[in-house]
Amino acid sequence: MGLMALCGAKLTMASTILPVLLVAVGSAYGIHVVNDYFERAVQSKGSREELIAQVVEEMANPVFAAALTTAAGFLTLLSAFLQPMREFGLFTAAGVMFSFILSLTLIPAVLALTRPPKAVHRRREQGSILERGSRFLAVALSGRGRWIVLGIAVVVIAVFASQIPHLKVETDQSKYFRQDSPVIVGINFIEEHFAGGSTQMSVVIDTGRRDGIKDPKVLQFMDELQAYLESLDPVGDTTSIVDLIKETNYTLHGDDDAYYTIPPTKRAVAQVLLMYEMGGGEVLKSMATRTFSKAQVTAMVRSVGTAELKRLLDQVHDYLAKHTPPGIVAYTTGVPDVYIELSQKLIHSQITTLFTSLGAVGVIVAALMGSLVAGLFALTPLVLSVVGNFGTMALAGANLDIATVMIASMVIGIGVDYAVHVITRYRRERMKGKSHRDALFVTYNTAGRAVLYNALTLTAGFLVLLFSSFGALQTMGWLIALTMVTSALGALLIVPTIFGLTNPKFLTRRVAVVRWGKGVRLGWQGADPDPADGSTKK
């Protein structure tokens, strides 16, 4: 938040969740560091300084990978079209890297100054339930259980994916508030007692010539357009220069109802307008240009959803295409057009940030682990989370709006942390020559424990947004909390399942510089080397 102030960034709807987000996400790295410290404290016989050094050395790479992928996920929001979304992505990424630095500097420093809690010495007894659960999962995912997990994952993805086409886009900002909000109460009062609507839509009539609006035929077209607009369901009152001309003509003829009409000639219209201007004519400035080449029909529209606004604009555009006189250009403008354009931009932004974040995160993981396959496997649980997120939104009736459009990038950036830690620890154990089952047991009992704590922490952190008075933030809170759970389950169940079925080479070997004749080259090195490449067993 201090960096935002230094950069002159303003507090927006998106940035209001930054403190909650960074507290939840930033604690994740500390959890993994402290968990590794506790794990080593049980078995370590060396000094506290040696213990801290081992923790920092061992956790630096996975925590850096997790922080870098998370920051990359948020930085993809820089491709968004809205400035608040770009600022949110930039400052969140900066906060994530600050948290990473503190987790490897401040937390080890604090641990070095304090004694290990007594609970550390009873770790094995207290962790018995988790250990039994870890052993059960390791055995299950080494046998038929992996097919069950894989089958359930495929079914879940298919079910939620089938609901995505039903997801609605909403850009009407009044929909972000609860029905008992003072904002909504005020809007309802205005729509009930004044003008029949709270949103303004305008139809601009451009004749392309001076005094073109004074033509009775043009005015008649505008009068008929007003009648058509008022016949449409979301439209309340309409106003235009036609109303002003009729009212003035009526007044000039002694309030005779027969003259509440458009004068028959252009000259008569000009005289009526002249009389009105002599009386002040201030309102006329908001209805037509000074040269009377353009005018507008203003319609008040009730607060409805984006889909209804789209339907309204389609009806108006169809009417204008059929009834606009030759030589005249008529087009709509105003808030409804802005909302429709915004909805289209939201869809484009969602697609762009989704694929950009997936690509960026996958490339970073692949580069850090030296394997393209590792990058693809790290993205596997994210597919479940992202599809589940959109499917749940469709089923729950939650809309894709300015707030929820950021969730996919957030889920990818945050959720990949779980996969990174699981893959890193599992790979470390496999590099030691352990079997799939044994490596999985150790992974569940160490990194898996931290992932579980991390997921619970993040879930609780984001559920705090349920107490917000802003409906959009409430929706955002429970959706992200849900995706944190699915991301953790994906990393703990789906990734090990795929490892057990495919046994990819990168798990037991790594790319390293190896001897080749009189020189060196890049080759595989690890617990299970390929004799053909001349590498040696580590």
Give domain status of residue 348, yes or no. no
* Contact call for residues 276 and 214 (beta carbons, < 8 A): no
With a cut of 90, say whether residue 322 has pLDDT above it. yes
Q: What is the pLDDT of residue 117?
A: 60
Binning pLDDT at 50, 70 and 90, where does residue 526 land?
A: low
- The answer to whether position 345 is within a domain reads no
Answer yes or no: do 383 and 450 share one domain.
Answer: yes
Distance CA 194, CA 281 (A): 23
Q: Is residue 343 part of a domain?
A: no
User: Would you state the pLDDT for residue 513?
Assistant: 44
pLDDT digits (tens, 9 = 90+) for 220-253: 999 999 999 999 988 888 999 999 999 999 988 8
Residue 535 confidence (pLDDT): 35
pLDDT score recorded for residue 532: 30
Considering the domain architecture, whether residues 205 and 309 belong to the same structural domain is answered as yes
Pair (298, 188) in one structural domain: yes
Q: Is residue 4 part of a domain?
A: no
172 domain residue, yes or no: no
Residue ending a domain, choose from 312, 337, 362: 337
Domain of residue 279 covers 178-337
Q: Decide if 439 is inside a domain.
A: yes
Q: What does the pLDDT average to over 377-396?
A: 87
Is residue 65 over pLDDT 90?
no
Instruction: Indicate if 229 and 187 belong to the same structural domain.
Output: yes
Kindly tell me if the per-residue pLDDT of 538 is higher than 50: no
More confident residue, 529 or 171: 171
Say if residue 442 is in the same domain as residue 488.
yes
Residues in the chain: 538
Q: Render pLDDT for 273-319 as a digit per residue (tens, 0 to 9).
A: 988 888 777 788 889 999 999 999 999 888 887 888 889 999 999 99
Least confident among 3-12, 113-122, 266-275, 387-396: 113-122
Query: Which tens digit of pLDDT belongs to each residue from 88-132?
Result: 888 888 988 998 899 889 988 888 887 766 555 455 444 567 777
Residue 18's alpha-carbon distances to 12, 25, 321, in angstroms, are 10, 10, 47
Find, among 69, 94, 80, 91, the residue nearest to 15 by Cα.
Answer: 91
- Statement to judge: residues 195 and 311 lie in one domain: yes
Asked whether residue 158 falls in the same domain as residue 185, the answer is no
182 and 326 both lie in a single domain: yes
pLDDT > 70 fraction of the chain, expressed in percent and rounded: 89
Strand order in the sheet with 329-334: 235-239, 294-301, 199-206, 329-334
Residue 358 falls inside a structural domain: no
Per-residue pLDDT, 520:
43
pLDDT above 90 as % of the chain = 18
Predicted pLDDT of residue 119 = 53
Question: Is 504 or 215 the better-scoring residue by pLDDT?
Answer: 215
What's the number of CA atoms in the CB half-sphere (13 Å) around residue 257?
0
Q: Return the closest-CA partner of residue 390 out of 486, 257, 318.
A: 486
The residue among 350, 333, 335, 337 whose CA lies nearest residue 402 is 350
Asked whether residue 101 is assigned to any structural domain, the reply reads yes
Q: Are residues 78 and 198 in the same domain?
A: no
Residues 285 and 418 in one domain: no
> Do residues 17 and 100 share a domain?
yes
Here the tokens at position 100 are 């990473």
pLDDT at position 132: 78
**Residues 18-37: tens digit of each pLDDT:** 887 788 777 778 888 888 88
Total domains present in the chain: 3
> Nearest to residue 309, comparing CAs of 447, 214, 489, 171?
171
Per-residue pLDDT at 452: 87
Q: Tell me the residue type at 385.
A: S
Hey, is 537 helix, strand or coil? strand
Which has more confidence, 420 or 206?
206
- Cβ burial of 48 (10 Å; 0-12, 13-18, 19+) is middle
Q: Is the pLDDT of residue 193 over 80?
A: no
Note whether 70 and 121 are same-domain residues. yes
Task: Check residue 332 and give its pLDDT.
Answer: 94
